């Protein structure tokens, strides 16, 4: 007992229960008065504690290091590692120079952290110097050093250097393999990344995660989800990073069942709902069309950061709830969280869907005047949209001309959208010309303008635009809608006959048309001939992809379940009219996410108030 008590009094052991800076200072004072601090081993423990723990204090760590007579390599590595993650990573390099001068030999960890430092400060020059030293001292092919180097070269876009390095290793370890997957993914060569992944002799959760995340970042959401299934089958436990990537894939696809599965998994396995994970869940529910569930998760989260608030606000705006979006700003301020540039995108978007021009202008001014946030292209785009939607077209043009950098296609696109809404053909033509100067293959812009010509019976304009598209080789992205049923994502293209349930879908569509005609629906056939809007004009309106997907929803979902569709393009006028009518005639809630927003169809009306 006596021995135990005396051990528990050793100041270094007190570190285990130390949770505040004040307590740490007491411990530190004890180590100084008892001269324990002069012992290099104990000093290392103290340094690691304040350099790497949550109460991170690099200045103290540096101070302790300076009090240590002969610091161990562990202490020095700890410092370099801590610096590499700090806002002053270059301090690590100067510490390394100091090490060389004082004759402390570096080890593999020193090089691993130094390479990370070079990645952090984006210096390929220093990176090559460090790489050279690692070769000289025989550390180049150490698994950790090698993978840090691969990662560094990939970050600088030198994938060939990464590949050569990887090829040199006779027996690369799992860390190096994973780094190489990341390197291929980084330069968007997902086939090569996958090849690497498939050739790996052994895979841990980090390797699975690298491949899944690679797919997600490149926009291959289906591949990501299918690989996630394989991961489950292999019995590999997903970690937080995997969950975040999978949720992002679900958001992109509108695959809410799979997203919900992740949510249940988190709860069942009592995983900590971290801020990042919680924010990813909010984003998933919002983008999959269930804003109420998003709000539930939001309310239950104990810790929220600026991204959590911004995601919730962005979700509200996307669903047309401008007031709720703006209201959240007040609550966010009360919670002591300052808005950032992402928050302002959400806010301006909220004002735009609400038609609150004055408020939007005020926020834009506050952004610069109060929060010192430099507006980016996206913010200007929101302002164009805000004015344009409200019919203030000359103000919208004024915003574009007042931008401190070259206007991007998005700003002109917002103007073009406003021109369509307010039927201003002349300004619309001007906007289109600007867009194709920047992005000559922007199919959506041609389609919008062509639709405007059609709406005002200017068929010359329509055919002129079509030949211009042909001349320039602009191909229209085919319309595609997806619907998730029992966790399986079904994809429909315009005029698609490939679905196994095609006959049933045809029959259902026939039944739907019958009911709608009784309600007085007449398809707008003049539009069919000339409208090259969201889908090819050759296909009759009744085969637009979202109609096929909705019909499939009627067949395969329970009668009370809302039908949720995600579409890659804007919804066309006819589909919008038909869906409104369907929601009334069949008493069914239908939610469509198109390229820009959500449409909640209920009792014959849409949440977008027919402005989209």
Pick between residue 91 and residue 531 the one whose CB is nearest to Zn ion: 531
CB atoms within 10 A of CB 254: 24
Binding track over 532-551 against Zn ion, x by CB under 5 A: ------------x-------
Binding track over 498-537 against Zn ion, x by CB under 5 A: ----------------------------------------
Pick between residue 163 and residue 576 the one whose CB is nearest to Zn ion: 576
**Given the rule CB under 5 A, which of 262-270, 450-458, 498-506, 593-601 is the region that contacts Zn ion?**
593-601
Which distant-in-sequence residues (6+ apart) come within 8 Å of 62 by Cβ? 79
Under rule CB under 5 A, which residues in 352-381 are in contact with Zn ion? Answer: none
Name the DSSP letter for residue 319: T
Q: What is the largest CA-CA distance in the chain?
A: 99
Considering the complex, what minimum distance in angstroms separates the CB of residue 143 from Zn ion?
54
Burial of 240 (0-12, 13-18, 19+ CB in 10 A): middle
Considering the complex, what minimum distance in angstroms separates the CB of residue 575 from Zn ion?
3
- 31's enclosing H/E stretch is helix 21-33
Considering the complex, what minimum distance in angstroms separates the CB of residue 282 from Zn ion?
23
Judged by CB under 5 A, does residue 570 bind Zn ion?
no
Considering the complex, what minimum distance in angstroms separates the CB of residue 288 from Zn ion?
17
Decide: 111 and 142 in contact? Cβ < 8 Å: yes
Pick between residue 283 and residue 546 the one whose CB is nearest to Zn ion: 546
Q: If we measure between CA atoms, which residue out of 440, 447, 391 comes closest to residue 415? A: 391
Judged by CB under 5 A, does residue 575 bind Zn ion?
yes
Considering the complex, what minimum distance in angstroms separates the CB of residue 571 from Zn ion?
6
**Given the rule CB under 5 A, which of 83-91, 94-102, 491-499, 604-612 is the region that contacts Zn ion?**
604-612
Decide: 81 and 113 in contact? Cβ < 8 Å: yes
Considering the complex, what minimum distance in angstroms separates the CB of residue 447 from Zn ion?
12
Considering the complex, what minimum distance in angstroms separates the CB of residue 349 from Zn ion?
16
Considering the complex, what minimum distance in angstroms separates the CB of residue 526 from Zn ion?
15
Considering the complex, what minimum distance in angstroms separates the CB of residue 187 from Zn ion?
37
Mode of pairing for the β-strands spanning 488-493 and 563-567? unpaired
- The structure tokens listed for 195 are 């090849």
DSSP reduced 3-state for 402: helix
Decide: 194 and 211 in contact? Cβ < 8 Å: yes
Between CA 180 and CA 166 the distance in angstroms is 7
Which distant-in-sequence residues (6+ apart) come within 8 Å of 65 by Cβ? 43, 47, 71, 75, 76, 79
- The structure tokens listed for 162 are 């990464």
CB atoms within 10 A of CB 469: 19
The DSSP code sequence of 401-428 is: HH-SSPPPHHHHHHHHHHHHHTT-HHHH
Considering the complex, what minimum distance in angstroms separates the CB of residue 537 from Zn ion?
11
Considering the complex, what minimum distance in angstroms separates the CB of residue 488 from Zn ion?
24
- The structure tokens listed for 358 are 């004055």
Between CA 353 and CA 371 the distance in angstroms is 24
Pick between residue 70 and residue 538 the one whose CB is nearest to Zn ion: 538
Judged by CB under 5 A, does residue 572 bind Zn ion?
yes
Considering the complex, what minimum distance in angstroms separates the CB of residue 592 from Zn ion?
7
Q: If we measure between CA atoms, which residue out of 557, 440, 555 comes closest to residue 487? A: 557
Pick between residue 223 and residue 574 the one whose CB is nearest to Zn ion: 574
Between CA 237 and CA 176 the distance in angstroms is 21
Pick between residue 581 and residue 608 the one whose CB is nearest to Zn ion: 608
Considering the complex, what minimum distance in angstroms separates the CB of residue 493 from Zn ion?
13
Pick between residue 310 and residue 545 the one whose CB is nearest to Zn ion: 545
Judged by CB under 5 A, does residue 563 bind Zn ion?
no
Q: If we measure between CA atoms, which residue out of 393, 395, 394, 435 comes closest to residue 413? A: 435
Considering the complex, what minimum distance in angstroms separates the CB of residue 289 from Zn ion?
13
Pick between residue 128 and residue 602 the one whose CB is nearest to Zn ion: 602
**Given the rule CB under 5 A, which of 49-57, 367-375, 437-445, 567-575 is the region that contacts Zn ion?**
567-575
Pick between residue 65 and residue 572 the one whose CB is nearest to Zn ion: 572
Instruction: Give the count of residues interacting with Zn ion (CB under 5 A).
Output: 6
**Given the rule CB under 5 A, which of 133-141, 162-170, 548-556, 594-602 is the region that contacts Zn ion?**
594-602
CA distances from 605 to 257, 315, 353 (A): 26, 20, 16
**Given the rule CB under 5 A, which of 155-163, 201-209, 322-330, 598-606 is the region that contacts Zn ion?**
598-606
**Given the rule CB under 5 A, which of 215-223, 252-260, 415-423, 592-600 is the region that contacts Zn ion?**
592-600
Pick between residue 416 and residue 575 the one whose CB is nearest to Zn ion: 575
Pick between residue 229 and residue 603 the one whose CB is nearest to Zn ion: 603
The DSSP code sequence of 34-63 is: TTGGGSHHHHHHHHHHHHHSTT--HHHHHH
Name the DSSP letter for residue 571: P
Q: If we measure between CA atoms, which residue out of 89, 38, 88 comes closest to residue 68? A: 38
Pick between residue 351 and residue 572 the one whose CB is nearest to Zn ion: 572
Judged by CB under 5 A, does residue 608 bind Zn ion?
yes
Judged by CB under 5 A, does residue 606 bind Zn ion?
yes
Pick between residue 203 and residue 597 the one whose CB is nearest to Zn ion: 597
Taking the CA atoms of 523, 524, 525 and 528 in sequence, report the sign of the dihedral they define.
negative
CA distances from 288 to 27, 214, 492 (A): 51, 22, 17
Pick between residue 210 and residue 353 the one whose CB is nearest to Zn ion: 353
**Given the rule CB under 5 A, which of 67-75, 118-126, 444-452, 597-605 is the region that contacts Zn ion?**
597-605
Which residues sit at the interface with Zn ion, rule CB under 5 A? Answer: 544, 572, 575, 599, 606, 608
């Amino acid at each position: 007992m006596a021995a135990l008590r005396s051990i528990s009094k050793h100041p270094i052991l007190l570190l285990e229960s130390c949770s505040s800076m004040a307590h740490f200072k007491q411990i530190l004072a004890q180590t100084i008065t008892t001269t324990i601090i002069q012992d290099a081993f104990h000093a290392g423990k103290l340094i690691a504690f304040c350099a790497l723990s949550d109460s991170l204090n690099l200045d103290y760590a540096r101070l302790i290091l300076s009090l240590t007579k002969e610091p161990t390599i562990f202490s020095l590595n700890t410092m370099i590692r801590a610096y590499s993650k700090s806002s002053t990573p270059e301090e690590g390099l100067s510490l390394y120079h100091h090490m060389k001068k004082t004759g402390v030999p570096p080890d593999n960890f020193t090089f691993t952290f130094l390479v990370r430092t070079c990645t952090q400060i984006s210096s390929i020059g220093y990176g090559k110097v460090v790489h050279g030293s690692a070769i000289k001292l025989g550390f180049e092919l150490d698994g950790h050093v090698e993978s840090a180097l691969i990662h560094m070269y990939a970050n600088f876009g030198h994938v060939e250097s990464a590949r050569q390095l990887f090829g040199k290793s006779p027996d690369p370890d799992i860390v190096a393999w994973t780094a190489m997957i990341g390197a291929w993914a980084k330069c968007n060569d997902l086939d090569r990344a996958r090849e690497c992944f498939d050739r790996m002799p052994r895979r841990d959760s980090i390797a699975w995660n690298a491949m899944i995340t690679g797919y997600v970042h490149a926009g291959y959401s289906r591949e990501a989800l299918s690989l996630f299934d394989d991961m489950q089958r292999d019995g590999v436990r997903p970690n937080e990073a995997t969950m975040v990537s999978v949720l992002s894939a679900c958001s992109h696809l509108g695959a809410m069942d799979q997203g919900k599965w992740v949510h249940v998994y988190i709860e069942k396995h009592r995983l900590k709902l971290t801020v990042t994970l919680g924010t990813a869940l909010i984003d998933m529910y919002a983008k999959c069309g269930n804003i109420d569930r998003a709000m539930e998760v939001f309310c239950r989260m104990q810790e929220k950061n600026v991204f959590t608030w911004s995601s919730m606000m962005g979700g509200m705006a996307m669903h047309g709830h401008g007031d709720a979006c703006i209201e959240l700003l007040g609550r966010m301020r009360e919670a002591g969280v300052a808005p950032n540039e992402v928050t302002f995108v959400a806010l301006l978007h909220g004002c735009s869907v609400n038609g609150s021009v004055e408020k939007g202008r005020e926020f834009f001014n506050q952004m610069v005047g109060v929060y010192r946030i430099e507006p980016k292209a996206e913010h200007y785009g929101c302002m164009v949209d805000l004015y344009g939607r409200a019919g203030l077209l000359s103000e919208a043009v004024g915003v574009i001309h007042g931008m401190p950098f070259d206007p991007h296609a998005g700003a002109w696109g917002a103007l073009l959208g406003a021109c369509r809404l307010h039927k201003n053909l002349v300004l619309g033509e001007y906007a289109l010309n600007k867009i194709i100067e920047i992005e000559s293959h922007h199919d959506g812009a041609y389609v919008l303008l062509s639709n405007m010509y059609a709406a005002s019976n200017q068929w010359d304009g329509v055919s002129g635009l079509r030949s211009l598209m042909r001349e320039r080789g602009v191909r229209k992205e085919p319309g595609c809608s997806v619907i998730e049923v029992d966790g399986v994502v079904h994809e429909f293209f315009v005029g698609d006959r490939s679905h196994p349930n095609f006959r049933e879908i045809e029959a259902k569509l026939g039944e739907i048309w019958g009911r709608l005609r009784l309600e007085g629906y007449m398809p707008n056939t003049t539009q069919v001939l000339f409208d090259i809007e969201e889908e090819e004009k050759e296909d009759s309106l009744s085969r637009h992809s979202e109609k096929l997907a909705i019909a499939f929803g009627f067949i395969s979902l329970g009668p009370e379940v809302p039908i949720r569709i995600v579409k890659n393009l804007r919804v066309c006028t006819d589909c919008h009219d038909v869906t409104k009518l369907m929601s009334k005639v069949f008493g069914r809630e239908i939610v469509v996410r198109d390229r820009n927003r959500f449409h909640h169809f209920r009792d014959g009306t849409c949440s977008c108030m027919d402005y989209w």
